[in-house]
């Protein structure tokens, strides 16, 4: 009896569902790695203690425009939200942004959102 149950369990497929489907994970990885290049200016010694980052630039290598939204909090706990519309093969920069922890959201032209 135990052998029959064991064989049935091994033969029957056991499904486990992840939070995101595999194609969406691959697509978001492709967007982040191949599609966008984030460029931050180099630091100098005098500016290491500053609360500002001179500039952060995002370059779009995708075939359509994207909307790049950067949101987070600075060192003082103030909410910061910046939105950039980056055209095909274009580059947009944010100047004098506060240092802090940020999350980003990428919206493609077909309204698909990646976080």
Where do the structural domains in the chain lie, given as residue ranges?
Answer: 37-42+49-114
Please tell me the least confidently modeled range out of 5-9, 13-17, 34-38: 13-17
Residues 98, 82, 106, 114, CA torsion sign: positive
In the chain, what is the greatest distance between 2 CA atoms, to the nearest angstrom? 76
Q: In what order do the strands lie in the sheet with 91-98?
A: 36-40, 52-60, 91-98
Mean pLDDT for 67-92 is: 87
Residue with tokens 């995002």: 58
Give the pLDDT of residue 110: 87
Q: Examine the pLDDT at 113 and tell me if it is beyond 80.
A: yes
């Amino acid at each position: 009896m135990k052998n029959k149950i064991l064989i049935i369990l091994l033969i029957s497929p056991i499904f486990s569902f992840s939070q995101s489907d595999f194609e969406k994970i691959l697509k978001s990885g492709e967007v982040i790695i191949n599609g966008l290049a984030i460029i931050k200016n180099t630091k100098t010694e005098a500016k290491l203690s500053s609360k500002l980052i001179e500039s952060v630039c995002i370059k779009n290598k995708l075939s359509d425009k994207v909307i790049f939204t950067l949101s987070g909090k600075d060192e003082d706990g103030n909410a910061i939200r910046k939105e950039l519309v980056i055209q095909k093969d274009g580059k947009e920069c944010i100047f004098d942004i506060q240092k802090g922890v940020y999350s980003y959201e990428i919206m493609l032209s077909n309204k698909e959102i990646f976080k």
